[in-house]
Amino acid sequence: MSFELSVNLEYMFHEAGERLEDRMAAAAAAGFTKVEIFTTSNRDVPSLKKALEDNGCELVGVVTDPRHQICLEPNHEAFREMFAAAAKDAEALGCPNIVVPSGAAVPFLRRPMQLENVAKAIASVLPIAEAHGLTILLEPVNTRFDHPGVLFAMTEDAVDVIESVGSPRVKLLYDVYHSITEREDPFTVLPQVAKHIGHIQIADAPGRGEPGSGAVDWKAILNAIEQTGYTGLIGLECSPTKASTAEALAYIRQLCA
């Protein structure tokens, strides 16, 4: 079982300081050359690009603003404008993936209607994604602890939208931590959604610490991922429980080597 790892700089290498550029340098020094960040909004994109080049790193994914409630059609125009700006930044940074959160659900529309509206929003930005050579990743996140009120709580929510849009540019970001926290069984879910997966992220549960800090059997999880035929990156999106991020990630790095 062999997987290449990517690291989310928002969560890790804090010991290098507040600047993403400095965390990137620390990650590269530790041997991690694939990195992920959140939104590029209000960030110095040229500085990030230089840091990527200087450290020999590749940016794997950026995230659009999760505050956009795309379950509401009146918000779609603003969403398209925001997506276009994020897509421009992603292309400038050589990033192939753009993660689109669903935003919060609303109590006054039935769930099928909300998911239908999300599908319309995603379909409306496909030309932008195509123009910039981007894959759109839809990520379910848990409502029980980290993201109360979000629309995409279960993996099936994102899959419903992916199948509705029906484009190879729209794929699933499957996060093992969120899935387990939402009381899904990854060993059941992974085979069911394998054909839609564009990226996988992990953290241990409970606690969202590095793999090995919680109760998850990572050898079994990685084997289950391998059995699906997935050969992409494994993204680490966790909060290290040790002062040294590199030390905290040594266990999962050894398992994936």
- Tens digit of pLDDT for each residue in 202-238? 999 999 999 999 999 999 999 999 999 999 999 999 9
pLDDT at 66: 87
Q: Which amino acid is at 106?
A: V
> Using alpha carbons only, what angle is made at residue 190 by residues 185 and 224, rounded to the nearest 5 degrees?
90
Mean pLDDT of 81-99: 98
pLDDT at 67: 86
Cα 48 to Cα 102: distance, rounded to the nearest angstrom: 26
Cα 203 to Cα 213: distance, rounded to the nearest angstrom: 9
Alpha-carbon radius of gyration of the chain: 17
Does the N-terminal peptide bond of residue 96 adopt cis geometry, omega within 30 degrees of 0? Answer: no
SS3 at position 217: coil
pLDDT at 170: 98
Instruction: Kindly list the distances between the CA atom of residue 30 and the CA atoms of 49, 119, 233, in Å, as whole numbers in the listed order.
Output: 20, 40, 17
Q: How far apart are the first and last CA of the chain?
A: 8
pLDDT at 109: 95
pLDDT at 88: 98
pLDDT at 235: 98
pLDDT at 1: 66
CA nearest to 100, candidates 112, 116, 84: 84
> Using alpha carbons only, what angle is made at residue 181 by residues 17 and 121, rounded to the nearest 5 degrees?
80
Mean pLDDT of 21-44: 97
The CATH architecture one would assign to domain 5-256 is Alpha-Beta Barrel (3.20)
Domain ranges of the chain: 5-256
pLDDT at 71: 96
Cα 231 to Cα 18: distance, rounded to the nearest angstrom: 32
